[in-house]
Amino acid sequence: MQSLVDFFTFRTFVSLDVLRVVYALGAIGMPLLAWAVWLWLGRFALWRSMRGVSVTAVRRFVPRRWRVMSILLFLLCFFCMELAWRMMFEFIIAYLQMRDALQLLTQRAGLH
């Protein structure tokens, strides 16, 4: 019963487990969702025609080395975003762990 009271009074946090799930959903789920939207948009004739025109224009006017560089730049940006996503969650988890450690120290010192 006390653990239920602690949960509803925010003395016990469930956020570490929730944060791990949200991190996984974001790190794995968002790229997969973006790919699924890309494939879904391929069902529409307007999207297919716009994509065809843009692919033709890029192949005609952009040199091959710049196309390769743009793909490499996209991959670099993707990995940097994944790294930033990971670091953000590491900071949040570290903050919560520090909070728990400080709360334990104040309880041991009799300040709480």
Given pLDDT bands bounded at 50, 70 and 90, which one contains residue 39? very high
- The structure tokens 């925010």 sit at 10
**Residues of the chain above pLDDT 70, percent:** 99
Inter-residue contact 85 to 19 (CB < 8 Å): no
Q: Which range of residues forms the domain containing residue 98?
A: 2-109
The DSSP element (H or E) to which 14 belongs, if any, is: none
One-character DSSP codes across 20-36: HHHHHIIIIIHHHHHHH
Spacing of C-alpha 51 from chain mean position: 27
| Average pLDDT score over residue span 61-88 | 96
Geometric angle at alpha carbon 46, from 43 and 52, rounded to 5° = 90
Total tally of structural domains belonging to the chain? 1
> Which tens digits make up the pLDDT trace of 5-37?
877 887 777 778 888 999 999 999 999 999 999
Distance from first CA to last CA of the chain, Å, rounded? Answer: 22
Inter-residue contact 23 to 89 (CB < 8 Å): yes
The mean pLDDT of the chain is 90
